[in-house]
Structure 1
Amino acid sequence: MEHSMSAQSSESLCHLNATDLVAGYRRGDFSPVEVLDAVLSRTERLNPRFNMFFHIAQESARQEALVSERRWKEGQPLGLLDGVPVSIKDSIAMKGAPMQVGSRALRKIVSAQDAPPAARLREAGAVLFAKTTMPDHGMFGSGVSTAFGVTRNPWNPAFNTGGSSSGAGAALAAGLGALSVGTDIAGSVRFPASLCGLASLKPTHGLVPHLPVVAVREAGPMARSARDLAAMLHVLAGTDKRDYGSFPALAAGVPGWREPKGLRVGLLLDVGYGNKAEPAVVAAVRNAAETLARAGAQVEEMSALLNVDVLVPLAQMSATTMLARFEAMSQEQRDLSYLPLLEFAERARRLTALDYQAAIQAVDVAKAEVVRATAAYDYVLAPVVNKVNWAAESNAPDDDDIYRLTSYCGMFNQTGQPVGCVCAGFDERGLPIGMQIIGQRFDDRGVMQLAEQYEALRGFDMQWPECQ
């Protein structure tokens, strides 16, 4: 395999999706080494401006690419992602790479082993080339971090990437790696997918093992197309004995491919609490619903999801978790911690044990109502966030109450339902607008199928930013 790509064609390799890369490897059009070199060269040019990565595993990635190239030459690839460059979120352990969870208060610890997502990718031959930036402790839906600074959106660097998988979103939009793994506890693979024009999946809880185990957090694939999500989920899913909550991967072919025709689709524009979506967001999601209706789906607009402000008890629970984390730190670490997060955690100090139990109960009641309200539909379409975007340096559109950013997303972590995100359009500034596709538990493949079908029907092709 000759390594003679021109500078222009080398740069174009960075914009190929994972499925296109694998097809090219199979034909012998280019090699994993050529692709990695192109990605590393583009990373060197763009990372200082957009701040996607805090660690580049250049030497180990090059070795992985060389071994992958040999497998392809011998006609013995390991799987669907052999030779595909993939980045990993800061909070996911990757052997030999540092982990800081976005906080300057925590020293960089070099991971001694791979967490399950990194392990599954490595076993499939993927080339793990970088760790992505994130906000402190993953507690903000933005790209602002005390450890790494501000991560900027390749569509327009004045705007936010969303978070907490902020570096992953920026990297994919900029053509730095075909795939990335994020994590999601209240929208953290969906916010950056929405703000950066990507596809992502928050899987059914337990389908993708992760450490440490958190009852409402999932590791999820992020990509430039819904088709790539399916290949990545196939690799990530399955039992890992280190995660006691993980279950076997869903059986191949279940469910079978379903066309939009006849699907029962709910259109959820009002969750009943938080800030309602602005007109541009509503218009994009409504237009997507109409697109699926023209393809034969039975679309019905839903009433408000809940009649209580569930963000209040959810915030109480999260604040309590963060307060306990800060109490375990030294005073020096607390002094280095992000002040808005410290202030958020301090809300929990005046809560009693009975208050905390009441918050848990209120969320449990809301979970049952969400499951009931969505049970009549195969899938539900909804906004990801109430705003198209906001300033790169801000934690949220409304800095006075950052938790309200999760209004459209958070409850589906609580119920464990799979949720895909796809780009549903752009506003007048050319900024992407994402849409959630919410499915029933264990129907992850169905969610991804509908996402892929919608991408084929939506009437526009993604013209990714050149980032000159």
Structure 2
Amino acid sequence: MASPQLKPTQMSDLLDQPARAILASFQSRVLSPVDYMSALISRVEASEPHVAALWNFRPEQALEQARASESRWAKGAPLGPLDGMPVTVKELIATKGDPIPLGTAAVPLVPATQNAPIADRLIEDGAIIFAKTTCPDYGMLSSGLSTFHALSRNPWDVTQNPGGSSAGAASAAAAGYGPLHIGTDIGGSVRLPAGWTGLFGFKPSLGRVPIDPYYTGRCAGPMTPSVADSALLMHSISRADTRDATSLPYEALDYDIAAADVSGMTLGLMMDAGCGIDPDPEVRAAVLQAAKDFEKRGAKIVPIGPVLTRTMLDGLDVAWRARFWGMMESLPQENHARILPYILEWAREGGNASPVAVAQGYEQTFAMRKTTVAAFDGIDAILSPVNPNVSYPADWASPTNDPQKPFEHIAFTMPWNMGEQPACSINCGFSRSGMPIGLQIVAPRFADTTVFALARAYEQWRGPITNWPRFDTAL
């Protein structure tokens, strides 16, 4: 049964509804997955010339899958809790039959032989992966700049950067390509772009969401307009998969946990990252105001020092440069010219580093594990900025645009990857220029639901974002 004849403006409004409301409409047959997907396709086609968030956008295939979902709902036999719901996954997340270009024109396009764990879980639950989202070369920039993909832009101001490396996911979610999107994060690549685009972005405890390939600090997590949308995704993507040797034993956690009662909680407030870019005054003011909101409701706010040092950040830089130069050296020499020059210059210096320097650099990941764990002594959770700066030009490779200073902007986010703690970005205000500002909430290792409870509480106090940027006003 198709949905009643809805006016174009009604369909546009539906696209901005939370995922559970849409799924309930599928179940009651008030709305057809086909009609919803058709409206989404129209929005994407109107918006993509502005934001360039997607790769492998396949509308005809998506409509075919929506028709199959419609039939299942009509029979009362959905595949799972996400049946018919559109979702995007970052290009780095394998989908069978599709190549994984890693955001760069330098690598051969070889079709993946199987889905990554996340893609399998989504498909098992009936979700429709209607497109993949862009990332920069090798996923190693906080930018939408890529030699393979079109330049992804921030929907709030298309002259500005969405951040990265989950650039396309951030652009897609902020532009309203449905509520469900998934990125990856090894130093902030979910939280940073979520902060710059007003989203809720969640980095789980390492191993909570099985991934393949896995690596020190590498996680995947949802990027959505609301906390509830991310909770819905976590129920699916956190299910077990043996391909991730770093994965945690599966727990059916309550990501839909009620908003935290913060009275009596002790929250650390970290306004100094220890190195890197100092927070912009507008960022600082927004985060301090958020801390006051927690304090007003009974939390004890305790200023705490940084968990990161210059030695730690520079050491990791050396280790990562060497790792990626090793990947690039396996390519034919002529392919090096196809790599983004910023990334090539950055990685090449890793080839000149001594084995001792590389080993010492990697050891800094364990130094960060020690300091991040110690930061929670007597502390229930930590508040901090996500991004130190408000925004930067769309065609810059990073906030510094300097390959010799590549990680100055990740000092608030990256340590929690190495320490394996769960962390999120949630919007806590806007700059005078109209750009979103992110608040980071970090909880002790394995306390993923604490992040959700605190974020849900803050989201309720803050209220919904009602001015999301849209390019389909004629829809």
Say yes or no: TM over 0.5. yes
Alignment match, 1:333: 335
Q: Tell me the SS of whatever aligns to 2:286.
A: helix
Query: Which segment drifts farther, 253-262 or 393-402?
Result: 253-262
Report the counterpart of residue 362 of structure 1 in structure 2. 364
Residue identity opposite 1:216 in structure 2? G
Deviation at 1:459, TM superposition (A): 4.6
Distance of aligned partners of 1:42 and 1:297 in 2 relative to their CA distance in 1, 3 Å threshold: same
Q: Is 2:413 the counterpart of 1:409?
A: yes
Give secondary structure in 2 for the equivalent of 1:145: coil
Is 1:22 equivalent to 2:23 in the alignment?
A: yes
Of 412, 428, 433 in structure 1, the residue corresponding to residue 432 of structure 2 is 428
- Does 1:294 find its partner at 2:296? yes
Q: Do structure 1's residue 322 and structure 2's residue 324 form an aligned pair?
A: yes
Where 1:266 maps in the other structure, the secondary structure is strand
Q: Secondary structure at the match of 2:49?
A: helix
Residues 257-268 of structure 1 mapped to structure 2, 5 A cutoff: 257=258, 258-268=260-270
- Tell me what 1:244 maps to: 245
Q: Which residue of 1 aligns with 2:77?
A: 76
Q: Counterparts in 2 of 1:32-47, with a 5 A limit? A: 32-47=33-48
CA separation of 1:206/1:259 partners in 2, compared to 1, >3 Å: closer, same or farther?
same
SS of residue in 1 equivalent to 2:452: helix
Shift in Å at residue 66 of structure 1? 1.8
Structure 2 unaligned segments of length 5 or more: list them.
none
Do 1:207 and 1:249's aligned partners in 2 also have CA atoms closer than 8 Å?
yes
SS at match of 1:215: coil
State the secondary structure of the residue aligned to 2:202.
Answer: strand
User: Cα distance 1:230–1:319, how it changes in 2: closer, same or farther (>3 A)?
Assistant: same
SS at structure 2 position matched to 1:56: coil
Structure 1 gap segments, 5+ residues each = none
Alpha carbons 1:84, 1:178 under 8 Å: kept: no
- The SS at the match of 2:184 is strand
Residue deviations 1:76-111 (CA, integer Å, cap 9, x gap): 334332221101111111123332111011233332
Between the aligned partners of 1:412 and 1:90, the Cα distance in structure 2 is 23
Measured against aligned partners, the alpha-carbon deviations of 1:225-269 in whole angstroms (never above 9, x if no partner) come to 011111101100022111122223323449975422222211111
Q: Call closer, same or farther: CA 1:97–1:308 in 2, change over 3 Å.
A: closer
CA distance in 1, matches of 2:359, 2:396: 33
Paired residue secondary structure (2:279): coil
Contact 1:174 1:467 in 2 (8 A): yes
C-alpha deviations, 1:148-184, integer Å up to 9, x for none?
1311111110111000010010001111122111100
Counterpart residue identity of residue 2, structure 1: A
2:2 is equivalent to residue 11 of structure 1: no
Deviation, 1:319, is 0.2
- Alpha-carbon distance in 1 for matches of 2:18, 2:93: 23
Per-residue deviation, 1:420: 1.1
Among 304, 307, 332, the residue aligned to 1:305: 307
Counterpart amino acid of residue 15 in structure 2: C
Tell me, what secondary structure is at the counterpart of 1:405? coil
For 2:455, the equivalent position in structure 1 comes to: 451
C-alpha separation between the residues in 1 aligned to 2:349 and 2:466? 43
Share of identical aligned residues, percent? 35
So what's the TM-score if we normalise by structure 1? 0.96
Is 1:382–1:437's contact at 8 Å kept on the other side of the alignment? yes
Does the aligned pair in 2 maintain the 1:255–1:443 contact within 8 Å?
Answer: no
Three-state SS of the structure 2 residue aligned to 1:374 is coil
Aligned AA for 2:299? A
Label 1:298 to 1:157 Cα distance change in 2 as closer, same or farther (>3 A). Answer: same
Distance of 2:342 and 2:12 partners within structure 1 = 40
Structure 1 residues 68-467: aligned runs within 5 Å: 68-253=69-254, 257=258, 258-400=260-402, 401-459=405-463, 461-467=465-471
C-alpha distance in structure 1 between counterparts of 2:459 and 2:257, whole Å: 19
User: Counterparts of 1:405 and 1:252 in 2: how far apart (Å)?
Assistant: 32
Q: Indicate the SS of the match to 1:24.
A: helix
1:255–1:446: 8 Å Cα contact kept in structure 2? no
8 Å CA contact 1:260–1:295 kept in 2: the answer is yes
Deviation at 1:424, TM superposition (A): 0.6
Contact 1:165/1:182 (CA < 8 Å) preserved in 2? yes
State the Cα distance separating 1:460 from its structure 2 match: 5.5
The RMSD of aligned alpha carbons is 1.7
CA offset at residue 356 of structure 1?
A: 1.7
Change (3 A) 1:233 1:168: same
Distance 2:416 2:304 in 1: 16
Letter in 2 for 1:375: D
**Is the Cα–Cα contact under 8 Å of residues 57 and 97 in structure 1 kept in the other structure?**
no
**Take 1:80 and 1:225, find their aligned partners in 2: how far apart are those partners?**
18
Deviations along 1:48-73, one digit per CA (max 9) or x if unpaired, are: 22101121132332232222222322
Partners of 2:196 and 2:387 within 8 A in 1: no
Shift of residue 367 of structure 1? 2.2
Residues in 1 aligned to 2:64 and 2:97: alpha-carbon distance in whole angstroms: 14
CA distance in 1, matches of 2:290, 2:71: 44
Distance in 2 between residues matched to 1:293 and 1:462, nearest whole Å: 26
Q: CA deviation at 1:307?
A: 4.7
3-state SS of 1:129 partner = strand
Q: SS of the counterpart of 2:56?
A: strand
Tell me the CA shift for residue 308 of structure 1. Answer: 4.2
User: 1:116–1:211: 8 Å Cα contact kept in structure 2?
Assistant: yes
Aligned pairs, how many? Answer: 468
Helix, strand or coil: the match of 2:314?
A: helix
152-161 or 109-118, which deviates more: 109-118
Counterpart CA distance in 2 for 1:409 and 1:47 is 29
Instruction: Answer with 266-275 or 393-402: which moved more.
Output: 393-402
- Residue 68 (structure 2) aligns with: 67
Following superposition, the deviation at residue 438 of structure 1 comes to: 0.5
Q: Secondary structure at the match of 2:328?
A: helix
1:403 aligned counterpart, secondary structure: coil
Contact 2:234 2:255 (C-alpha < 8 Å) held by counterparts: no
User: Please, what TM-score do these two structures have when normalized by structure 2?
Assistant: 0.94
Distance (whole Å) between structure 2 residues aligned to residue 181 and residue 255 of structure 1: 18
